[in-house]
Chain A
Amino acid sequence: MGWRVVEMSQRSLSRLQLHNLHLAQARRTVLEHIEGDFQPGAITALIGANGAGKSTLIQAIMGELRPISGKVVCTVPKERRAWLPQQLALDLTFPMSVEELVMTGSWPSHGAFTGYCAAHYRKGREIMARLGISHLAHRPLGELSGGQRQRALIGRTLMQEAELLLLDEPFANVDSDTVDILIRILRQMADDGATIIVVLHDMDHLRRLADEVLMLSGGHSRWVAPSELTHQHAPAQVVPFTLGGRHAGSA
């Protein structure tokens, strides 16, 4: 019975659980029987071929898609959840600077009406320094490169003190310096107790970042260890994910 008790206590610690989740898009079943348990401090890579349902699962976790059955149990308050989708709703022509974008992350503490104080501006500047974008603070968003924009958006989630972070291919169209910095920052956030889920295509990124891997294929999910995937004798069905994976250096 001992192992069972241990498992129960771990379950109560995890801040995001998926119970027998059944998801559909436009009445077509995309995923079935999804079980999951995401620990604080762990970075989970979500992998699968195109159309395997990665974005669908993320939508469901963020509460943007109602499951057909089963449920998502998330104890992280809504304002501490951050989601960086692949196709951003972010309007890049909006006349706003990097610093202002980072500062909007203080919404959970400041809401719509309270003014920013000096301490918050200081925090914003520290975050930009950590991400190496201090020199871009007053640059309009529309003039940023893909990597700079991704850093600014991660800056906003740091400002938000996000405890649950969902990233959909954060390293696509991003330079290798940015990848290095983002991997370091994400690891720090996880060490501070954040639960992080990242959609990845690139095996190199997966090896460097992921503690756990949730693989989606054929409408089902399977938890695998990262070592299992990056090992030379990787299972055959994993190969497609490495093919066509975008490499950061080429961006």
Chain B
Amino acid sequence: MLDLLNAWFISPFDYGFMRRAVVGGLALSLAAPPLGVFLVLRGMSLIGDAMAHAILPGVALGFLLAGFSLPMMSIGGVLFGLLVALLAGAVSKMGGQREDAAMASFFIISLAAGVMLISLGGSSVDLTHVLFGSILAINSTALLLIAGISTLIVVTLAVVFRALVVECLDPLFLRGQSRRSGWVHSVFLGLLVLNLTAGFQTLGTLMAVGLMMLPATSARFWSNRLEGLIGIAIVLAMVASTGGLLLSFHLDIPSGPSIILLAGVGYLFSALFGRYHSLAAKLRRKTTPLAVEQGC
């Protein structure tokens, strides 16, 4: 029994790349889920997906210029992601088109451009790595990059927390209170891009958004409080990223999909058995009496 536990959970970490991957995964699990929670609450769940595609051309350019260099690819990704966010914002301001429509147009252009650039310069193996991630790619430099970006995201979120909450809750009120209320949205989109570039190394560009969204959407079934949502989402992300890495190691499957699929299993479980809004909660509700209202 102990041998089995050891073989499954401990010995994989004898390998350096697994240790680095799990640390990277845990760092990401601290930063990504809070962003996802805010995306869900703002009704912008799909924007994360769009941004994940948007960073691809930048990553591809970095790859073309410097080979498989994670810092270069990350810088390219951040720059391109911010560029697309700015362009989408500008188009929606200019033409009156909604921001999500503009974003949807830009992200599909970006995806096509990114895939085109990578296939021009590399093999299909490289393409798979960029799109779906590779734990083998995480060296010490990449790990520092991931940890640095995650720290930056957590600290920034803590600083802008109240503004973000008020903007989600009642944008009109924030606009009345602060002349420069637009900065909250920009900072948030910036953090989103940063997080996705940190994530693509383990998870791949297309999967990075999963560690952000799935724990957040799952947490909605377990808590009705913002702090609860964020806490639960972080725990779920940590379990999914560590468990997914182990699965990927043992079953010899790409790390990105296995982490995200595990988070997906968590989501389905939450949707079925969660405390709030889940199938089980709906069935339970029929048996509990109405709470007696005091006051009015």
Contact = CB atoms under 8 A, between A and B. Distances in A.
Interface of A: 62, 78-79, 81-83, 85, 88-91, 93-97, 101, 104, 107-108, 112-113, 132-133, 135-136, 140, 145, 147-148, 156, 175, 177-178
B170 A81 contact: no
Interface stretch (B7-15, B121-129, B157-165): B157-165
Most buried by B among A95, A104, A148: A95
Interface string B37-50: 00001010000000
Given A79-B178, A94-B226, A136-B295, 20 more contacts: A78-B177, A82-B176, A88-B170, A88-B172, A89-B170, A89-B172, A89-B173, A90-B170, A91-B43, A91-B168, A91-B170, A95-B225, A96-B165, A96-B169, A101-B169, A104-B162, A113-B162, A132-B296, A135-B294, A156-B173
B71 interface: no
Contacts of A101: 169
Contacts of A93: 41
Contacts of A113: 159, 162
Nearest to A89: B172
Interface in B177-233: 177-179, 223-226, 228-229
B41 A94 contact: yes
B89 interface: no
Contacts of B295: 132-133, 135-136, 148
Contact of A96 (B159, B223, B226): B226
A94 B163 contact: no
A112 B169 contact: no
A174 B216 CA distance: 34
B171 interface: yes
A156 B170 CA distance: 12
B202 to A, nearest CB: 30
Interface of B: 41, 43, 159-160, 162-163, 165-166, 168-173, 176-179, 223-226, 228-229, 294-296
Contact of A94 (B160, B169, B176, B178): B169
A64 B296 CA distance: 35
A183 to B, nearest CB: 15
A112 B179 contact: no
6 contacts: A88-B172, A94-B226, A104-B169, A112-B178, A147-B296, A175-B296
Nearest to A142: B224
A140 B170 contact: no
A27 to B, nearest CB: 14
A79 B176 contact: yes
A136 B160 CA distance: 27
Contacts of A82: 176
B63 to A, nearest CB: 38
Contacts of A145: 296
A187 B223 CA distance: 39
Contacts of A104: 162, 165-166, 169-170, 173
Contacts of B225: 95, 97, 140
B99 to A, nearest CB: 16
A177 B296 contact: yes
